[in-house]
């Protein structure tokens, strides 16, 4: 019964399933109308550009270009997603990720360096605190950043964060290094290898313009230094906490909404670089965040950091480099076009390129500030310049602690990561002395006591702490608060503070440094400007000789501004330090070779997609770091003496492990523009345009004697209009210019009012085609007052334009006109002789 009963339902079910239900009329003709319309719309969207190109008679290459760009975007997104997944996998299961084959550059720091310790207890603590850290970050965005953005501009009055989610993955510390040697007993120095890979969602909206944008993931990796100082005998035992990055961290951002356009190849690197520049202005050495734990008086010195020293680098020559240039698909080997990348912390220099030479001689000199030498090294990489991607010729890393101990090193170093090659360096550690006892000797050593130039090797360092201003005038509009900024200059070197919006009592708290050639006859010029209306709010001039007679060569006070309000003051702390090379007494048989650190990653690790850091090189406008080298201007007066020395005379000494993958961030294959850094005191290191002009002069001379004006002359009319408060410059004509080609030259005139070399301060004439005696008759003006313009210099350069992608672009001649003349209000018209580099300014009296 049970079996029969069991079969009945199954049979019934089978029979029921075997019968087919009659189909409703028209069911076979049912159509998915929305899907069909969507398909037609997609097909129309694909065919429309092709039809439009044909209708307009354009080339089919535009379609191929669009398809190529689309494939490039998708590939770039795929690579970014894979890197994010790999980093997330490393955070979730480090052991499993290593077993699957993680590259050496992705391993945590404690794998490479025995003195770097794991900090799992700290990571567990951060993970437990992460939800509360996220709450603090959200509160910071909504209560601090959002009101600040709204108040910055009227167009952003409807700005708001619609979502702030930092993600579930906490910040991770991959390794901790504690410094116990060569540090002050009243401080603790920690280096944290931090890594943050977050699936965060930060969305913002500007309702007024219906604009939405945001970020969906962020990666940031870098070395953060934490300094606990001073240590005190009372609670909380630490006076203050200082935090900063030793160098720019690695950053990668995935955008959403309108900012998704920033993920397009080419724009993604630019956007990340801009954000890194913003981070550098606050968190990259020498900038730092100081959190006081006791009273302000005890940590005042922490907000006025003095560099530990200055490193003078003589980049002399190399020998036996590898030949990387090949011909006939590698069958014929050629030479190389070597150049060097020199890096000290966040300061980057690039040498001149020496064409077709395996034993190049650069004879260039650079000067760099050293703020934290435990953890900072001198890094040098040599490359062969190529049209597409530069080839690697070797690298070198020298511990600055060794250089400080020895004071002076003049050695040949064997290059790492290559089969052969040696580099000759001379390194000088300059100590910062707080008195002027040995200033005359220093000036004599660098020959600054005889020449009248303001540029060259440095004898002193000027350190300026810009604190605040009070009672600034309203500017052009009455009863309106200005947007003040401060411009500071010494000679032709200028720096600029950040802008403070809508206030007459701004607070900056920024540090600036200037290399000084001769403090006895150079001045510090300070001007407060209103960024909104481009007008002056007051100025100040301080002779540096005043600091030489001050206590500890330091002035800390409120300065009364001239050409400003009756009670307008600017508070600054200014210190001058003499740069002295202290030679140590050594026995005659003493021998030493600097400690060289071997890289911990291979050349493959260098080829990671690391963003360029040349945009933060010191000396650029808008940053508060010092220019790492003064602008060259000594010409032939300080050519370095070459000492004949056999390469085998100084073999490479002991080496040590200790180079991280982050030390290679300046690889030229990722640089936006390869521009050589001007050397201080070497003829061969003049800018390329100037040197090419000198070579062209030698060719033109060809055994004959050139006239008094071999480069020709330019006629200018210069006067100052007191009614318009402007400097008027009329460029009339040029005569007897040199020819760039058989057809002559295509000259035009470019002008700057130094020290302002911003793009907005540049003036240019039209281009005259194929002539050596062009006539321009164009008038230009600069908005500047008469007292101020008498402290400025007019930089006039005649250049050859050439065509698009032409090689015939270059300098035809230059002249510097000092405007310190009482006749400026009346004006004058005069012919000026053009020179190669304009280093001999002509003063009109």
How many whole angstroms separate alpha carbon 576 and alpha carbon 567? 27
- Mean predicted confidence (pLDDT) in 98-112: 56
Q: What percent of the chain has pLDDT over 70?
A: 69
Return the pLDDT at 294.
77
Considering only 85-94, 459-468, 795-804, which range has the smallest mean pLDDT? Answer: 85-94
Model confidence pLDDT, tens digit, residues 199-225? 888 888 888 777 777 888 888 888 888
Give residue-wise pLDDT tens across range 813-825: 889 888 888 788 8
Model confidence pLDDT, tens digit, residues 776-801: 989 998 888 888 888 888 999 998 88
More confident of the two residues 723 and 497: 497
Give me 552's structure tokens. 């500890």
Residues 552 and 576: their CA atoms lie apart, in Å, by 9
d(CA 399, CA 183): 15
Output b/e per residue, 129-156; b: 16+ Cβ within 10 A.
ebeeebeeebeeeeeeebeebeeeeeeb
**pLDDT at residue number 844:** 42
- Whole-angstrom CA distances from 250 to 96, 219, 275 are 24, 8, 11
Task: Give me the pLDDT at residue 146, please.
Answer: 82
pLDDT at 428 over 60: yes
Q: Residue range 754-782: average pLDDT?
A: 86
**pLDDT value of residue 542:** 92
| pLDDT (average), residues 72-88 | 79
pLDDT of residue 106: 57
CA distances from 628 to 123, 396, 459 (A): 37, 20, 14
Section 434-450 average pLDDT: 84
Q: What percent of the chain has pLDDT over 90?
A: 16
Mean pLDDT in residue range 2-7: 43
Q: Between these two residues, 676 and 445, which has the higher pLDDT value?
A: 445
- pLDDT tens per residue across span 160-184: 888 888 888 899 998 898 887 777 7
Residue 843: per-residue pLDDT: 42
Res 560: pLDDT: 92
Whether residue 636 is predicted with pLDDT greater than 50 in this model: the reply is: no
- Over residues 368-397, mean pLDDT: 85
Phi, psi angle pair for 715, to nearest 5°: -105, 125
Task: Check residue 733 and give its pLDDT.
Answer: 92
CA gap 811, 694 in Å, rounded: 10
Chain Cα centroid distance, residue 786: 34
Q: Is the pLDDT of residue 451 over 90?
A: no
The two tokens of residue 496 are 């600029």
Residue 310's pLDDT is: 92
The pLDDT tens digits of the residues spanning 670-695 come to 344 455 666 655 433 344 455 555 55
Instruction: Give the C-alpha separation, 781 to 730, whole Å.
Output: 9
Lowest mean pLDDT among 36-45, 78-87, 581-590, 696-705: 696-705
Q: Return d(Cα 509, Cα 511) in angstroms, integer.
A: 7
Q: How confident is the model at residue 618 (pLDDT cuts 50, 70, 90)?
A: very low
pLDDT, residue 819, reads 87
pLDDT at 375: 67
Residue 112 is predicted with a pLDDT of 54
Measured distance CA(472)–CA(573) in Å, rounded: 19
Identify the band that residue 469 occupies on the pLDDT scale cut at 50, 70 and 90.
very high
656 close to 608: Cβ distance less than 8 angstroms = no
Q: What is the average per-residue pLDDT within 263-281? A: 62
- What's the DSSP call for residue 207? G
* CA-based nearest residue to 174, from 231, 102, 227, 241: 102
What local confidence, expressed as pLDDT, does residue 527 receive? 92
Question: What's the pLDDT band for 642 if we cut at 50, 70, 90?
Answer: very low
- Is the pLDDT confidence value at 26 over 50? no
Query: Which candidate, 488, 434, 426, places its Cα nearest to that of 461?
Result: 434
Question: What's the rounded mean pLDDT across residues 611-638?
Answer: 38
Average pLDDT (428-444) is: 89
């Amino acid at each position: 019964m049970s079996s029969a009963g069991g079969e009945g339902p199954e049979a019934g079910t089978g029979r029921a399933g075997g019968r087919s239900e009659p189909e409703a009329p028209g069911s076979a003709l049912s159509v998915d109308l929305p899907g069909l319309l969507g398909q037609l719309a997609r097909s129309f969207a694909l065919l429309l550009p092709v039809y439009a190109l044909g209708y307009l008679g354009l080339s089919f290459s535009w379609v191929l270009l669009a398809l190529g760009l689309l494939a490039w975007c998708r590939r770039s997104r795929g690579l970014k997603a894979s890197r994010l997944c790999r980093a997330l996998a490393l955070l979730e299961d480090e052991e499993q990720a290593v077993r699957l084959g993680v590259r050496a550059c992705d391993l945590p720091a404690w794998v490479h360096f025995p003195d770097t310790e794991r900090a799992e207890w700290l990571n567990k603590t951060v993970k437990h605190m992460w939800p509360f850290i996220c709450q603090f970050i959200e509160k910071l965005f909504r209560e601090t950043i959002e009101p600040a953005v709204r108040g910055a501009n009227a167009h952003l009055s409807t700005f708001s964060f619609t979502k702030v989610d930092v993600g579930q993955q906490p910040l991770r510390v991959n390794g901790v290094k504690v410094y116990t040697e060569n540090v002050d007993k009243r401080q603790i120095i920690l280096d944290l290898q931090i890594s943050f890979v977050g699936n965060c969602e930060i969305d913002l909206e500007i309702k007024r313009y219906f604009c939405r944008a945001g970020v969906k993931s962020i990666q940031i990796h870098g070395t953060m230094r934490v300094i606990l100082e001073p240590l005190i005998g009372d609670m909380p035992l630490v006076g203050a906490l200082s935090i900063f990055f030793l160098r720019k961290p690695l950053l990668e951002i995935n955008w959403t909404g309108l900012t998704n356009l920033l993920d397009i190849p080419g724009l993604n690197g630019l956007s990340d670089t801009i954000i890194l520049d913003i981070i550098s202005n606050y968190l990259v050495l020498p900038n730092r965040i100081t959190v006081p734990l006791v009273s302000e008086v005890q940590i005042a010195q922490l907000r006025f950091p003095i560099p530990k020293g200055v490193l003078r680098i003589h980049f002399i020559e190399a020998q036996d480099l590898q030949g990387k240039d090949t011909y006939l698909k590698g069958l014929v080997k050629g030479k190389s076009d070597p150049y060097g990348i020199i890096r000290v912390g966040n300061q980057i220099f690039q040498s001149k390129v020496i064409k077709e030479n395996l034993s190049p001689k650069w004879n260039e000199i650079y000067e760099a500030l050293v703020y934290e030498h435990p953890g900072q090294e001198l890094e040098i990489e040599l490359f062969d310049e190529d049209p597409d991607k530069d080839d690697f010729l070797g690298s070198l890393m020298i511990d600055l602690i060794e250089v400080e101990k020895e004071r002076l090193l003049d050695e040949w170093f064997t290059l790492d990561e290559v089969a052969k090659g040696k580099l000759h360096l001379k390194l000088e550690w300059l100590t910062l002395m707080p008195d002027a006892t040995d200033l005359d000797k220093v000036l004599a050593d660098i020959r600054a006591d005889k020449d009248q130039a303001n540029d060259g090797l440095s004898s002193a360092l000027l350190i300026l702490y810009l604190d605040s201003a009070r009672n600034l005038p309203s500017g052009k509009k009455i009863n309106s608060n200005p947007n003040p900024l401060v411009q500071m200059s010494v000679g032709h070197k200028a720096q600029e503070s950040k802008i403070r919006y809508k206030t007459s009592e701004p607070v900056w708290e920024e540090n600036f440094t200037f290399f000084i050639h001769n403090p006895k006859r150079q001045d510090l010029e300070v001007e407060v400007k209103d960024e909104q209306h481009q007008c002056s709010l007051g100025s100040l001039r301080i002779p540096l000789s005043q600091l030489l007679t001050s206590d500890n060569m330091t002035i800390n006070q409120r300065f009364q501004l001239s050409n400003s309000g009756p009670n307008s003051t600017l508070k600054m702390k200014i210190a001058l330090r003499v740069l002295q090379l202290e030679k140590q007494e050594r026995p005659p048989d003493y021998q030493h070779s600097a400690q060289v650190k071997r890289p911990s990653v291979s050349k493959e690790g260098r080829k990671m997609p690391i963003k360029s850091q040349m945009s933060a090189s010191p000396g650029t406008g808008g940053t508060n770091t010092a220019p790492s080298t003064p602008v060259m201007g000594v010409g032939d007066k300080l050519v370095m003496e070459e000492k004949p020395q056999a390469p085998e005379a100084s073999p490479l000494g002991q080496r040590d492990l200790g180079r991280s993958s982050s030390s290679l961030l300046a690889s030229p294959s990722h640089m936006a523009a390869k521009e050589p850094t001007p050397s201080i005191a070497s003829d061969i290191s003049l800018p390329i345009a100037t040197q090419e002009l000198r070579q062209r002069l030698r060719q033109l001379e060809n055994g004959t004697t050139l006239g008094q004006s071999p480069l020709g002359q330019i006629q200018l009319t210069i006067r100052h209009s007191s009614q318009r408060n402007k400097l008027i410059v009329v460029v009339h004509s040029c005569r007897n210019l040199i020819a760039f080609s058989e057809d002559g030259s295509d000259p035009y005139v470019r002008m700057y009012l130094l020290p302002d070399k911003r793009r907005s301060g540049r003036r240019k004439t039209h281009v005259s085609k194929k002539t050596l005696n062009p006539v321009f008759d164009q008038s230009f003006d600069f908005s500047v007052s008469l007292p101020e313009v008498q402290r400025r210099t007019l930089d006039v350069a005649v250049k050859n334009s050439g065509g698009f992608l032409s090689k015939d672009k270059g300098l035809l001649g230059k002249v510097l006109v000092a405007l310190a003349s009482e006749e400026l209000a009346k004006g004058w018209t005069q012919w000026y002789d053009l020179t190669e580099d304009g280093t001999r300014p002509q003063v009109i009296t």
